[in-house]
Amino acid sequence: MNSNGYPASSFKIPTVKFTKLFINGHFVDSLSGGEFETIDPRTGEVIARIAEGTKEDIDLAVKASRLAFDHGPWPRMPAVERARIMMKWADLIDQHVEEIAALDAIDAGKLYHMLKAIEIPATANTIRYYAGAADKIHGEVLKPAREFHAYTLLEPVGVVGHIIPWNFPSIMFVSKVSPCLAAGCTMVLKPAEQTPLSALFYAHLAKLAGIPDGVLNVVPGFGATAGAAICSDMDIDKVSFTGSTEVGREVMRAAANSNLKPVSLELGGKSPFIIFDDADLDKAVELALMAVVYNKQQHIFISDNYLLLLSGFQGEVCAAGSRVFVQEGIYDEFEKRLVEKAKAWVVGDPFDPNVQQGPQVDKKQFEKILSYIEHGKREGATLLTGGKRVGNKGYYIEPTIFSNVKEDMLIAQDEIFGPVIALMKFKTIEEAIKSANNSRYGLVAGVVTKSLDTANTMSRSIRAGVVWINCYFAFENDIPYGGCKMSGFGKDSGLEALHKYLHVKSVVTPIYNSPWL
């Protein structure tokens, strides 16, 4: 048994092979020689020391990326050849699924068996999706009113800076890098300081696949130094950031103060999950729990006779449906069943296949979640279950449910990024719409109902980038994902993600003596 009382895992953790910066096709020490520790959230112990990139290292990576874009083969390569290399990269990921899954499990506390079975294979398939789009990038012929022939070209935007979060180390890496590569761009990526291991491994595989030097650079470091340098660099043409709304503001400010580079931002959320009286109660309970104690890029479908629930994690996902609104006719029974389900939830070592929820990513996030739970108690919400640390080592927290929540409470307004549900009751559809939109965020929403009229009304009325009807976390490569309001702008996934790395150029020539316009 381990110190938390869970069966000790027999899984052999692989040796961490890559701990240096990846710049211009090579693993190198930081120019300062500085390093930082990456921590195992299962134990709080050090996994490895990672080279710490700072402004000088970002400058070096940008220089390599600039050279690769302005003079290298990648943007000039036939698109079908770019696609071939990307396909090879995806195949290499498939060949190293177990090792990558273990890296994300020890670095982020994610469930190993779900990473191996679903999330890491999904990263390879995301690369394949955008590889398939690489040779389908084209503009259109226009019809001017005067005597001109006009058309548009879609050209790569240039050098891109990516800054990704720690909750989905693999999925976020490929969701940024894949469409960017397909578009013909070059890039510098900063992984979250909490989870740099898989990003460096992906860089190694990209090199083996044949992606030219300088096209993909990976520079671990901290937001205030490496991240800030990316946002303010005069030689970066675009920034794509996923993270908190607060940091998103800083990204926009730095971009504006430098070269007015465009930015795309996928930011925080405090998403409503709305359950109507006519819902299938058992399935609604399952969805409500999974909509918050979840950290996995996969699908949860619900229908009259089919429910697929693939994993539950630690609530560290910006799309968590943490504001749960239940219509009054079923509220009492729903609350009872949800609490029963949460109490049976298995929290523990992410290498244990019986575990449904691993640890929070680090001590800071762990303490932040516990502080919000204390806020909820002080503000008068009723703690139905959970609210405590699990075990005495590592960063494990019980699934936590509050009732009697008021919409102005912190636990109903702030993004907690942890396994905390705020339960609220509503009477009418008008009340549900008003409550759903009572948030500064607008990322996603979930609705459970058997009424097509209700589903249509809710999906048209909620201000969010995605509305899931009778399902939750229904992510697909071809479904655009991104928010509105203070959840940001720009899309990851779908062809919209490809287009944000493309510049539209109009070309116009005069027409002489044409028999028609």
DSSP string, 236-302: --EEEEES-HHHHHHHHHHHHHTT---EEEE-----EEEE-TTS-HHHHHHHHHHTTS---SS-EEE
SS3 75: helix
Integer Cα distance of 290 and 286 in angstroms? 6
SS3 160: strand
CB 401 within 8 A of CB 384: yes
Q: Which two tokens stand for residue 390?
A: 């699990």
Integer Cα distance of 45 and 37 in angstroms? 9
Q: How many CA atoms lie within 13 A of 170 on its CB side?
A: 36
CB 116 within 8 A of CB 126: no
Starting at the edge strand found earlier in the chain, the sheet holding 307-308 runs 307-308, 300-302, 471-472
Query: Which among 52, 119, 193, 266 is annotated as catalytic?
Result: 266
SS3 88: helix
Residue 2, sorted as left (phi over 0), alpha (psi -120 to 50) or beta, turns out to be beta
The length of the chain is 517
Integer Cα distance of 356 and 348 in angstroms? 8
Q: Which two tokens stand for residue 354?
A: 């019986």
Integer Cα distance of 131 and 81 in angstroms? 10
Q: Which two tokens stand for residue 200?
A: 């460096």
Burial (CB < 10 A; 0-12, 13-18, 19+), residue 135, is: middle
378-395 CB burial, b ≥16 within 10 A, e <16: eeebeebbbbeebbeebb
| β-bridge mates for residue 438, sequence order | none
Which ranges constitute the DSSP H helices of 462-516?
494-499
Cα–Cα distances (Å) from 41 to 85, 164, 170, 401, in that order, read: 35, 19, 17, 23
Integer Cα distance of 285 and 84 in angstroms? 44
- For residue 24, the tally of other CB atoms under 10 A from its CB is 18
Integer Cα distance of 50 and 195 in angstroms? 10
Asked about 335 being catalytic, the answer comes back as no
CB 249 within 8 A of CB 255: no
SS3 363: helix
Q: Which amino acids are annotated catalytic?
A: 266
